[in-house]
Amino acid sequence: MDSRPIYTCYRADSPIIVDGRLDEPCWRAAEPISLVRTDTGEPPRFPTTVKLLWDDRFLYAGFHCIDPDIWGTITERDGPMYEEEVVEVFIDANRDGISYVELEVNPLNVALDLYMLNRQGRRWGLFDWDSTDWQHAVTVDGYLNQRDRGDRSWTVEMAIPLADLATAPHIPPLNGDVWRVNLYRIDRGTYGDEYSAWSPTWEINYHISSRFGEVVFCDQPVSGRDWQVF
């Protein structure tokens, strides 16, 4: 229960166009992460797969979310995305457990970005902080906000600027550098709310930084590996 997952993040060795499709060869080669239920660690009703890559400018994240009812109403940046359906990336680049970046995207491709301070269970979200060059895109396999029709999945692609992770020991990361990261999804459908995570926090609380997983940067190219396509 105390162990945390570890992910080796390889270099993207071909250009990535952030269009929400995840169809570049390097995405095919990246290892998939399967999210689990945040509070129990068990498989969720609706699976989510995530892949990570990096280059000298960006950390890339690709989410694929199985979802029979895809919806969203929040259209303003930095709105309360977490009250609806959303995917989230938390990054603690210096591993202090206190300061980390929180990034969220909903099915409408609306974003929330903030800088979190979390000390002894007290949290402050700095909403005035904005990512300088964060790119994100969403594709929907289904009928967004047509809730009487069946949907299949939605996909989110992000390019997170390394320059925003100013607390990291090295920018860009060196081979073997380790960041603390967690990856999340909230699904809110007719079956009720479901909270998923890469590293379970063992309660419905995404801000338990001691439970973040470890992303190890590897300067080897991802090509040559062949994991199942999303």
Tokens of 116: 């979190």
pLDDT(189) > 70? yes
Residue 184's Cβ-count burial label (10 Å; 0-12, 13-18, 19+) is buried
Q: What is the pLDDT, as a whole number, of residue 225?
A: 67
pLDDT(1) > 70? no
Residue 164, SS3? helix
Domain spans, the chain: 6-221
pLDDT in tens, 150-169: 899 999 999 999 999 999 99
Q: What is the pLDDT, as a whole number, of residue 228?
A: 53
Of 138, 134, 156, 159, which is closest to residue 78 (Cα–Cα)? 134
Q: What is the mean pLDDT of residues 36-54?
A: 98
pLDDT in tens, 79-109: 999 999 999 999 999 999 999 999 999 999 9
Tell me the C-alpha distance between 26 and 12, whole Å: 6
Tell me the C-alpha distance between 56 and 48, whole Å: 27
Of 202, 223, 197, 220, which is closest to residue 63 (Cα–Cα)? 197
Q: pTM for this structure?
A: 0.95
The answer to whether the CB of 37 falls within 8 A of the CB of 194 is: yes
Q: What is the pLDDT, as a whole number, of residue 191?
A: 85
Please write down the HEC assignment for all residues of 142-175: CCCCCCCCCCCEEEEEEEEEHHHCCCCCCCCCCC
pLDDT(44) > 80? yes
Fold observed for domain 6-221: Immunoglobulin-like (2.60.40)
